[in-house]
Amino acid sequence: MAAMKPECELVEEWRDVLARHARTVCELDRELHPFGLGASDFEVLEVLAGGGDPGAGGEAPAGGGECAYRVQEIADRVHLSQSALSRLVGRLERDGLVTRGMCESDRRGVRVVLTDAGRAKYAEVRPLQRGVLARTLAGRDALPQSGAAG
């Protein structure tokens, strides 16, 4: 039997997750709004730009960018329902940031790929998104390096 956390710890932990999530999404929406993007839009662009691996730096996904991700594959990574993601992708498509098309080697579904404009937009806003994460997630355990307790 795995150790069971006390109820108060669980509730405190859940409130912490809720607060960090809300604060970060709110800040991301505010920062990205002038670029016509929201927090979830960025997550989708990041998946399409290379999976969001911090070391990848916007590399094209496997397949050379021609047969990229199916909607369900993206949904699993960005924690959206397939219907919500379809609406989001439709909006990104109208803005010229992604395109949808059947993949010739796989007739099971529509694939989504970044356009050049989408890749440029991702590169433009990525530093802003990282700046938000640094501000909103650093609070809890960022300690002064030395000479503290002033």
Positions in the binding site for its own copies (CB under 8 A): 2-5, 7-8, 10-15, 17-22, 24, 43, 52, 54-55, 78-79, 130, 133-134, 137-138, 142-145
Q: Pick between residue 20 and residue 91 the one whose CB is nearest to its own copies.
A: 20
Min dist CB 102 to its own copies, Å, is: 29
The most distant pair of C-alpha atoms in the chain lies apart, rounded to whole Å, by 65
Min dist CB 83 to its own copies, Å, is: 14
SS3 117: helix
Min dist CB 119 to its own copies, Å, is: 18
Q: What per-residue string of b and e applies to 32-51 under the rule 16 or more CB within 10 Å gives b? A: beeeebbbbbbbbbbbbbbe
Secondary structure element (H or E) that encloses residue 112, with its range: strand 106-114
Q: Pick between residue 66 and residue 83 the one whose CB is nearest to its own copies.
A: 83
Min dist CB 94 to its own copies, Å, is: 25
Q: Pick between residue 75 and residue 98 the one whose CB is nearest to its own copies.
A: 75
Return the CA Rg of the chain: 19
Q: Pick between residue 50 and residue 111 the one whose CB is nearest to its own copies.
A: 50
DSSP 3-state percent helix, strand, coil across the chain (nearest 5):
55, 10, 35
